[in-house]
Structure 1
Amino acid sequence: MQTLVDTFLSLVAFDSPSFEEQKISLLLEHALLEAGLYTDYDEAGNLYGYLNGEGSTILLNAHMDTVELARGAKAVVEDGIIRTDGTTALGADDKAAVAAILFALRTIKENRLAHPNLVILFTTAEEQGLIGAKQLEVDKLQGVQYGFTFDASQKVGLAVTGAPSYDKIEAVFHGKGAHAGFKPESGISAIQMASEAISAMPLLRIDHETTANVGSFIAPGAKNIVCDKARLVFEARSLDNEKLKKQTERMKQELLDAARRHGGSVEIHHEHLYEVYRHQQDSPVMKTFKHACTKLGLPYREEPTLGGSDANILNEMGIPTLVCSIGYEEAHTTNEYIPIEELERLGSLVLELATL
């Protein structure tokens, strides 16, 4: 049987940036069929696998896509660490999880291990705002009692007890163009309006439950022309919906005020992308995960996160889903890496959860 490390390295060699998951999904479907599962897809390209067993129905989830920076990744194994040559991200987010799930399924088949009913879910475009998960077909997940999303950094053994609600704001400022040398006073600068709005906003770490950021500011034009258009994209996250509402409304108000002061205008599009959730310690999904970690001697920890994942959507659908750490570090950067020891611990944990 192919080793877990070999499986991971083979997955890393397949480019699968968001919206380009077709090739890797075919590879994964073949692997699921070989492990004795039957498969299905939905219109978003999400891949489902089913393995009948006894008792409860458990969901194991990871996403197929990577950030664009992982395109062309060339893995380097050195001193027990898997990283790249430094020119790309590795894609351990989330291919380490995909590899561990395949390893667990192959082990179950090879050793004829008893297991509950298993549903495998490999999603698309997670890195673009959980786009694949938002198009899940509920009837393909019928009967699932609870699930595990393997998609968080840190050493294996972390249970993510909660995750935030998330708001996205897109704003387009409209000013008035003018020659910056001959008649600047007749212009209205979109860049100036946008800059003043940003300066007036509370951003970055708001408090221990809330963050906000301006991620994009695009205002193309010649240096000698008063810029008449600027497009910005903001986000806000919080574990408290009232705090999120307050933060988002403040950001929108600053956008409007800046446009009004200068006689320009601003179009604002606000979208609530996903909803906060929290897990109680006595919930079945939490108790199962803690039991598995204890049995394997893993360093069990609990903490909330301000990052989103497929679990936000699954929990909103009524499927209690716990996000679990999978051992990678420095995701989305050229410094991304995963220790082989952590990858192997992850494989053992997924196998334990799949056979409890």
Structure 2
Amino acid sequence: LVCDYLSTNLRILGFNLHEDSVGEKIGGNSGNLYGFLAGDESLEPLLFCAHMDTVEPANGKIAIFHEDGLITSNGETILGSDALSGVSAIIEAIKTIKEENINHRPIEIIFFIAEEIYGLGSKLFDYSMVKSKESYTLDLAGEVGSAAYKAPSLLTFDIIITGKSGHSNFKSKENINAIIVAAKALVQIKTGKINENSTCNVGLIQGGRALNIIPDLCAIRGEIRSYSNNETFMLLNEVIKIFSKTSEENGAKIEVNHELHIEAYETPLDHSVVKRFQNICEKLDIPCNLCATLGGSDNNNMEQHGINGLVLAAGMNSCHSCNEYTSVSELEKITEIVIELMNGDT
């Protein structure tokens, strides 16, 4: 429904659109939506992105507008400002440009699907149709004027420990409790913030079949994030080494699987995509805050295809919770920034 709504509005605004088949590949009901709007050919094209999907609970969302300009849900669902506030700002900026007949650069948009699933929609997108070399992704929490120039690699791992089951009341030397082996390994692993670049977390552990049976299987799932792609794998190898050694010492076996979902990027601070944003913030008297983030976004994937970009704060706060909110004033600010980025004067 979101994709259909946006397609209808973008066609009215003059965009040539293409919806890809990525949704079919991942079991979704829509694809990534790409659009191109012709503009002043003396200016370089610029790409604007946001994602259409949200986290749960989202069914039946109701936006409540408060007298002070705050916008919230009714508290039973998320609001969806992550990242529909970004989508809204892009659409409103284009409408304003059209209504006021403002000269603008060629504009490209991509509204991605499945960003919340480790950027899966943008990972599978075909970038061969994209003309822009620079982009702005509207998908960052915090005050408008903030922009992330740096984000981490994100890797998940699954470790399965296999022991040997038996009745807990008739334990023999042959029995190996897989949960105990996992516990012995877990206490040796450093989690949380490892250093200024990296974090490691173990988020799920499952094992056992009954209270009176020695568990022969234990599964551990976790993730590693790092601004250094190499360090991401170094930390993974340390985790595997600890689990392998502990399992061997206790007669258990392990199976390890991992997946790198997104790769780290760092856009140089002297890059034109950064300077342009800084100049516009100064022009609009909006404090500019260039920052690093440990959260990934679709920009991670675009950077791997030679498109340098920033991730802009777009009026989304307390994301991934039923306390999520945005405000009219913040939406107006980010829309003003997008209009200036599109018109090509800066």
What is the TM-score when the length of structure 1 is the normalising length?
0.89
User: Residues 220 and 293 (structure 1 numbering): CA distance in 2 closer, same or farther, change over 3 Å?
Assistant: farther
Aligned to 2:285: 297
Q: Which has the higher helix share?
A: 1
Aligned counterpart for 1:119 among listed residues 108, 120, 132: 108
What is the one-letter code of the residue matched to 2:13?
Answer: A
2:103 aligns to what SS in structure 1? coil
Q: Is the 8 A contact 1:184 1:226 kept in 2?
A: no
Please list the CA deviations of residues 121-171 of structure 1 after superposition, one character each: whole Å capped at 9, or x if unmatched. 011111111101111112221x21200011110010012121112222111
Q: How many residues align?
A: 333
Instruction: Return structure 1 stretches of 4+ with deviation > 3 angstroms.
Output: none
What are the within-5 Å matches in structure 2 for residues 129-140 of structure 1? 129-140=118-129
The answer on 1:236 being equivalent to 2:224 is: yes
Cα distance change, pair 146–195 in 1 and its aligned pair in 2 (3 A) = same
For residues 35 and 214 of structure 2, the distance between their equivalents in structure 1, rounded to whole angstroms, comes to 56
Measured in 2, the distance between the counterparts of 1:337 and 1:220 equals 41
Asked if residue 267 in structure 1 is aligned to residue 255 in structure 2, the reply is yes
Matching residue within 314, 318, 321 for 1:326: 314
Pick closer, same or farther for the CA change 1:333–1:59 going to 2, 3 Å.
same
**292-301 vs 84-93, which deviates more?**
84-93
Residues 139-150 of structure 1 mapped to structure 2, 5 A cutoff:
139-141=128-130, 143-150=131-138
What percent of counterpart residues are identical? 34
Answer with 33-42 or 238-247: which moved more.
238-247
Residues 144-199 of structure 1, C-alpha deviation per residue, up to 9 Å, x if partnerless?
Answer: 12000111100100121211122221112222221223336543222222222222
1:286 positional shift: 0.3
Asked if 1 retains the 8 angstrom alpha-carbon contact of 2:262 and 2:300, the reply is yes
User: How far apart are the structure 2 equivalents of 1:30 and 1:184?
Assistant: 69
Q: In 1, are the aligned partners of 2:208 and 2:216 still within 8 Å (CA)?
A: no
CA deviation vs aligned residue, 1:195-250 (integer Å, no higher than 9, x gap): 22222111111122211111222225222211222222211111123432321111
Which of 63, 86, 89 matches 2:75? Answer: 86
Partner in structure 2 of residue 65 of structure 1 = 53
Following superposition of structure 1 onto structure 2, how do residues 1-356 of structure 1 map, counting pairs within 5 Å?
Answer: 23-44=1-22, 45-54=31-40, 55-78=43-66, 79-141=68-130, 143-183=131-171, 186-219=174-207, 221-356=209-344
CA shift in 2, pair 1:71/1:192, >3 Å:
farther
Normalised TM-score (structure 2): 0.92
Separation in structure 2 between the aligned mates of residue 323 and residue 316 of structure 1, nearest angstrom: 15
Instruction: Provide the C-alpha distance between the structure 1 equivalents of 2:97 and 2:61, rounded to a whole number of angstroms.
Output: 30
- Mapped to 1, the partners of 2:185 and 2:57 lie a distance apart of 31
Counterpart of 1:97, as a letter, is G
Amino acid at match of 1:205: K
Measure, in 1, the Cα distance between the counterparts of 2:209 and 2:266: 46
Asked if the contact 2:208/2:214 (under 8 Å) is kept, the reply is no
Q: Within 2, Cα distance between the matches of 1:325 and 1:117?
A: 23
**TM-fit CA distance, 1:273:** 2.1
Q: Distance in 2 between matches of 1:218 and 1:347?
A: 46
Cα distance between partner residues in 2 of 1:196 and 1:206: 20
- Equivalent position of 2:27 in the other structure: none
CA RMSD in angstroms comes to: 1.6
Find the counterpart in structure 2 of residue 10 from structure 1.
Answer: none
Please give the alpha-carbon distance, in whole angstroms, between the structure 1 residues aligned to 2:289 and 2:95.
Answer: 28
**CA deviations over 1:316-350 (Å, ceiling 9, x no partner):** 11011111111222111122111221122111111
- CA-CA distance at 1:76 after TM superposition: 2.4
Q: CA deviation at 1:269?
A: 0.8
Q: Which runs of 5+ in 2 are unaligned?
A: 23-30
Displacement after TM superposition at 1:255 (Å): 1.9
Counterpart code for 1:104: A
Distance 2:285 2:172 in 1: 69
Contact 2:61 2:73 in 1 (8 A): yes
Check conservation: 1:152, 1:324, Cα contact below 8 A. yes
